[in-house]
Amino acid sequence: MGKQISLKKKTDVLSASEIGQYRYCSYAWWLQRCGYEPESQSLEPGKHVHVALGNTIDKFDKKLRYSQWYALLGSVVLCIAFLLVFWR
């Protein structure tokens, strides 16, 4: 059995992935819910892929926020330019 990590907060709300885990193996779901982490060398490549994917998503979110701010700034500048040209 794997080593125990910090206990998770017990809540009444379950995520969709937790329901899927429970349907696949209720015992494994319960152990994970109690804070046990599986130990297996075959899980390591998947963990690295998930970390890389998470970093990519974080970078995308940051770029999306920047693009939204630039779009807002461009709209404000365009409105000011429009007012300066046609306000007479």
Residues 6 or more apart whose Cβ sits within 8 Å of residue 7: 34, 35
Report pLDDT digits (tens) over 6-39.
Answer: 545 556 677 888 888 888 888 888 888 888 887 8
CA dist., res. 9 & res. 6, Å (int): 9
**pTM of the predicted protein model:** 0.49
